[in-house]
Amino acid sequence: MVTSTVTPNGDVNPYAIVVAPASAGMIEKDDVLVDNFNNISNLQGTGTTIIGYRPSTKATYVFARLPQHLAQCPGGVGLTTSMAMLKTGWVIVGSTPSTDGTTATKGDGCLIVIDPQGHPVTAWSGAHIIDPWGNMAVSDAGGQATLFVSMAGEGIPSPDVTDPQTHLPVIVRKASVLRIDLRIPDGKPPEIASETVVGDGFSQRADRDNFLLGPTGEALAPDGTLYVTDGLDNLVVAIPDALTRTTSAGTGRVVTKDGLLAWPLALDWTPEGHLLACNGKDGRVVEIDPKSGQQIYAQWIDNDQAQSPPGNGDLFGIAMMPDRKGFYYVEDDMNTLMEARP
């Protein structure tokens, strides 16, 4: 265990993990940022805080405590796995809000832009930005940057609306992956230059335990291929030419499916160019060769026997350490930031 992620206001349920690429404001390079999805009452879609952990001093601090409501953020604030920090110091985080902890009161959400001192300066919403959900993949050149974020919530009803055959909440195949190209003027907040839907038609549905299920993990390869996890269909897909394409690739090309995967969530790269995927339905991280689709190994990183199977529902974010010899992850059941090393 590295640190608790519970904030002074009682927020819990850690989701996103970001390792700072630069020093700016309150943040030092290599600090670890973690956000919370739940408030002190443990209602999903109501968390408003981001903590920072400084490995050099082992200190934990509150980077941002956002208001519960922002004028540009439909439905309020509930911070998700969609978070990134740009080299210029700006932090961008997604909100998929609720007032009762379920999708029955879900708003369309937004992407919130936060300055390096932890203050929100603007928020983006609109036709393509509906419930930012998945961890972001980023290509950052300093004066301009590109974000990829999955949108998983459009048209999802209350979890009480069930499929008569499965008796589970209905599946709505409207989840998408959005590319957002940014321009970043000197000393000013980033601005959206263009938005392109590069993938759509992914599965999504309401879930009482996890709020909603939909595409979550995203990892951008050097050749411009974007890899995306689809937890409901239990697979990882590839979207080619993600940085340049002008049309949607639909649900992409299947890279690997089932096997060791158990509702794959966040993604990141190993130094060897393999993918690491957190399992949402057990406490394992799965290593995948994206070229062959081979699932190489599954390592238990959370074997909490209180869940069945062990670690079920505990894992969300993952981020490689700066030395690339280990990774950070969160354990939702304990509200902690963890690290794993060989």
- pLDDT under 50: residue ranges of the chain: none
**How far from chain centre, in Å, is Cα 214?**
11
Residue 156 in contact with residue 212, Cβ under 8 Å? yes
CATH number of the domain within which 216 lies: 2.120.10.30
Range of the domain at 32: 3-340
What pLDDT is stored for residue 153 in this prediction? Answer: 94
Residue that is written with structure tokens 């399992």 in the block: 279
- Residue 236 vs residues 174, 209, 294, 316: alpha-carbon distances, Å: 17, 23, 11, 16
Please count the structural domains in the chain.
1
What pLDDT is stored for residue 283 in this prediction? Answer: 96
Closest CA to 170 of 179, 161, 183, 178: 161
DSSP, collapsed to helix, strand or coil, labels residue 16 as: strand
173: its two tokens: 């195949």
What pLDDT is stored for residue 342 in this prediction? Answer: 78
How far is residue 222's CA from residue 214's CA, in Å, rounded to a whole number?
A: 25
Q: Which residues contact 247 (CB under 8 A, 6 or more apart)?
A: none
pLDDT digits (tens, 9 = 90+) for 70-127: 999 999 999 999 999 999 999 999 999 999 999 999 999 999 999 999 999 999 999 9
What pLDDT is stored for residue 312 in this prediction? Answer: 93
How far is residue 59's CA from residue 123's CA, in Å, rounded to a whole number?
A: 29
Cα of first residue to Cα of last residue in the chain, in angstroms, is: 15
Find residue 149's DSSP bridge partners.
178
Closest CA to 84 of 268, 275, 332, 270: 268
